[in-house]
Structure 1
Amino acid sequence: MKPLLSYVLLLLFIITTQLLISSTTTTGTAAATEDIVKDSEGKEVLDNVPYHIGPVITGTGTRGRIKLTDTMYNKKVCPLDVVQDPSEDNLGGQFMFTLIGKEKYLLTSRILGIDSGSPKGECEESTFWTIPDVEEPPPSNLITTGGGFDQSFTCFQVVEYPKPTSPEVPSYMLQHCPSFCGAGPQTCFNISIYTDNGVRRLSSITGGYPFEFAFYKVKRTHDTL
């Protein structure tokens, strides 16, 4: 083989390898294509429609669904905090995952905001999930509320969980990607569970296992039980 041709082939190999490496996220998985998110029953999850989210399998101790709380350590808080309900029997909060760019169904690997709609109760701050500083230790990297739509602090995406607990139930994980909505670190951070004085909270803790969850349809009064 001629030296020039060998050099060109080697150069192409190096460029291709670097492109594959650069397309990975902090999870170490290749950048995913956009897929429609499915709920626990295998049905398409609607964009900007309320759903419950929580562990795929219950009966494992204090592993309830995600909710908002206005009370932490017997003190009222505002904005509200995002926590995991200690009871497996509770339905948890209702959250809307809204893509930046209107779509009928929720898609993986697309930037979105997460909220519970208009504020209710005494706290008038918004219900959009936010991380004040994703690279700082707790409490700065714990998920709370009070942000606005399409801001670096409220910039999330849903991706498929790499090793699902149950093959029958579609499961996902969250990533916080501040640079996709403005200034911030040029990477995405996996969202994990962090135990804060006995309270299980969502956080961008580095090195923790990503929080695996499923979408659960909100039961309406006219739904068949």
Structure 2
Amino acid sequence: MKTTLLLLLQLLLLTSTFKQLPAVVAQTVRDTSGDELRSDVEYYILPVITGNGGGLTLSDLGNGTCPLDVVQEQLESSTGFPVTFNPADSNDGIIQVSMDLNIKFSAVTICVQSTVWQLKDRDESTGLRFVTTGGVEGNPGRETLGNWFKIEIYDEDYKLFYCPTVCDNCRPQCQDIGIFVDNNGYRRLAALDDEPFKVMFKKV
């Protein structure tokens, strides 16, 4: 009888402990006003650290070719073009940390390609993978692996990260998205292993 009572008390204590454990909740990305990032809203991606350029824009890098690359504006006062974030699998449209996202510029260009971001293959001259446009919107899987990015927490801010999980059998090389200044002074977004690009999101 004592053994049964002791087991019952232990079970009640264990149940009570589980009830007190906090639920695991996905962390929502917030804009500069403290509001939730949403897939149906346009935002400027801006640098947290000032003094090294402004928002993000499109560039042909001076060679007149398409698709256009994603670069940081030279002027700190420039916001660049706004973007939208489109999750691979979200029904409520709220953008969460570590969620697979298409990032798309809200801009019209002379190129026939889309303004959806994608990570290119390794560049022969630099050995780096640069962020360009011309990606496919939606259709998560192996064929669109280069089109998916994440927003992660970095210190008390955010960073962009390439590590898609839209393909169970794929093993992408996961890297931070940072700024690479090329020989012509273009501040190009690239997959880097050193200092990531600290960003914030300002609603248009």
Instruction: Give yes or no for the alignment of 1:159 onto 2:155.
Output: no
Q: Structure 2: which amino acid aligns with 1:101?
A: D
**Shift of residue 180, structure 1, vs aligned partner:** 3.2
Distance 1:65 1:194 in 2: 15
One-letter amino acid of the counterpart of residue 45, structure 1: L
Aligned residues: 174
Matches within 5 A, 1:64-213: 64-69=54-59, 71-73=60-62, 75-102=63-90, 103-117=92-106, 120-133=108-121, 138=126, 141-149=129-137, 150=140, 151-161=144-154, 163-164=155-156, 171-178=157-164, 180-181=166-167, 184-197=170-183, 198-206=185-193, 208-213=194-199
More moved, 187-196 vs 79-88 = 187-196
**For 2:61 and 2:124, how far apart are their aligned partners in 1?**
21
**Residue 53 (str. 1) matches residue 45 (str. 2):** yes
Structure 2: how far apart are the matches of 1:136 and 1:181? 26
- Tell me what 1:27 maps to: none
User: TM-score if structure 2 supplies the norm length?
Assistant: 0.75
User: Unaligned 5+ residue runs, structure 1?
Assistant: 1-31, 165-170, 219-225
In structure 2, what residue type is equivalent to 1:47? S
RMSD: 2.5
Q: Deviations over 1:75-113 (max 9, x none)?
A: 322111100000011121111111012333111111111
Shift of 1:36: 0.9
Distance 1:188 1:121, change over 3 A: closer
The yes-or-no answer on 1:44 pairing with 2:36 is yes
Classify 1:121/1:174 alpha carbon distance in 2 versus 1 (closer, same or farther; 3 Å): closer
TM-score by length of 1: 0.69
- What corresponds to 1:29 in structure 2? none
Following the alignment from structure 2 to structure 1, what is the Cα–Cα distance between the partners of residues 125 and 192?
Answer: 8
State whether residues 48 and 99 of structure 1, in contact with CA within 8 Å, keep that contact through their aligned partners in structure 2: no
5 Å-filtered alignment, 1:24-43, equals: 34-43=26-35
Rg bigger for which structure? 2
Is there any run of 5+ residues in structure 2 with no aligned partner, and where? 1-23
CA contact (8 A) 2:48 2:198 kept: yes
Question: 1:72 aligns to what SS in structure 2?
Answer: coil
- Identity of paired residues, percent? 33
User: What is the DSSP-based 3-state SS (H/G/I as helix, E as strand, rest coil) of the residue aligned with 1:213?
Assistant: strand
Compute the displacement of 1:34 (Å): 2.3
Cα distance change, pair 120–108 in 1 and its aligned pair in 2 (3 A): same
Q: Aligned equivalents of 1:120 and 1:126: distance in 2?
A: 9
Residues 1:77 and 1:130: Cα distance change in structure 2 (over 3 Å): same
**Equivalent position amino acid for 1:154 in 2:** N
Measured after TM superposition, the shift of residue 115 of structure 1 is 0.7
Change (3 A) 1:181 1:56: same
